[in-house]
Amino acid sequence: MVAVGRKKAVVSSVISRGSFVSSSDISLITDQMGGRRFDPSGVVGVAKRCTWGVPQVFRCAPFRGWWPFPTTYWLSCPWLIKVAGALESQGGVSELEDYLSSHRSSWIKYQMLHGLVRIADIPKSQRAFLRSHRRSVWDVLRRGGIGGIDYSRSDDLSVKCLHLQIASWLALGHHPGSNWLVDKIPHRSCDDGRCVIRER
């Protein structure tokens, strides 16, 4: 019973960290994500802001239309997107997977947290309907970790992409690969506030 109560408290604090999104935030995120082609209807909150006060990571709704959406935290900061891309091109995905191989239990718990946050974003009545009548959809939502990674497969240490990992790390304030991420990304904001300047 204590463990269940603790999980609920952790999930509630995670969701409340990124629950507010203003029309100005939506405008900035839309610009960051490429303008007119981006559909902001799936944005349910700003999970992390940079030192300039601009959204770096936004929280996504658990559905797009009728389909489960596997990504809870999306990296929107153009500067960090380039940093992540550069790390990936230098073999960063494999390096992080190697690092996580000695943190397997923390990795699985971290994936579970993403599933819990996603489910907590679904109204109770809808959750009951999904459990009873759309079990396959419910399982996708429940078992999907970062970017939909199936954490029930304990042998799978795939991190998919660094953009997802960086977004989760910044949004939640921790990650099983935090030490690796801090070493690779010592600065988490650009030095010129370029998103703010672009808005003026």
Q: What is the pTM of this model?
A: 0.86
Could you give phi then psi for residue 148, rounded to 5 degrees?
Answer: 90, 5
Q: For 66-121, what is each residue's pLDDT tens digit?
A: 788 889 999 999 999 999 999 999 999 999 999 999 998 899 899 889 888 888 88
Alpha-carbon distances of 19 from 15, 115, 180, 182, rounded to whole Å: 6, 17, 28, 26
**Burial letters for 3-37: b for 16+ Cβ neighbours within 10 Å, e otherwise?**
eeeeeeeebeebbebbeebeeebbebbbebbeeee
**CA angle at 77 for the pair 74 and 80, rounded to the nearest 5°:** 100
Based on the structure, what is the number of domains in the chain? 1
- Output the CA torsion sign for 184, 21, 6, 124: negative
Q: Which residues contact 171 (CB under 8 A, 6 or more apart)?
A: 17, 18, 47, 48, 57, 59, 72, 73
User: Residue 109 belongs to what domain range?
Assistant: 2-199
Which residue's structure tokens are 């799978």? 156
pLDDT digits (tens, 9 = 90+) for 27-36: 999 999 987 7
Q: Average the pLDDT over each of 11-15, 57-61, 129-133, 191-195 and give the range with the smallest value.
A: 11-15
